[in-house]
Amino acid sequence: MENTAEYYCAFCGETNSTFVDLSAGLEQSYIEDCQVCCRPNILYVRIDEETLEIEIDTDYQE
């Protein structure tokens, strides 16, 4: 099951959309390139078990 969520690029600050696979666990991390500046972001995804609300924090990929 997939949902979409938004995050802000750690480099340029622009809003990006991403697909989150809910079956991959309540805490996930992976790297995704910004759709605007193309730089790699580490996404830290947390999913609320009851509401399925998705929260994403980003960090720089060195």
Give the per-residue pLDDT at 57: 97
CA distance 39 to 62: 10
pLDDT tens track of the chain, all 62 residues? 669 999 999 999 999 999 999 999 999 999 999 999 999 999 999 999 999 999 999 999 77
Q: Where are the alpha helices (DSSP H) in the chain?
A: none
Question: Which residue has 């996404």 as its token pair?
Answer: 43
What is the domain extent for residue 17? 2-60
Predicted local confidence at residue 61, as pLDDT = 75
| Domains: count for the chain | 1
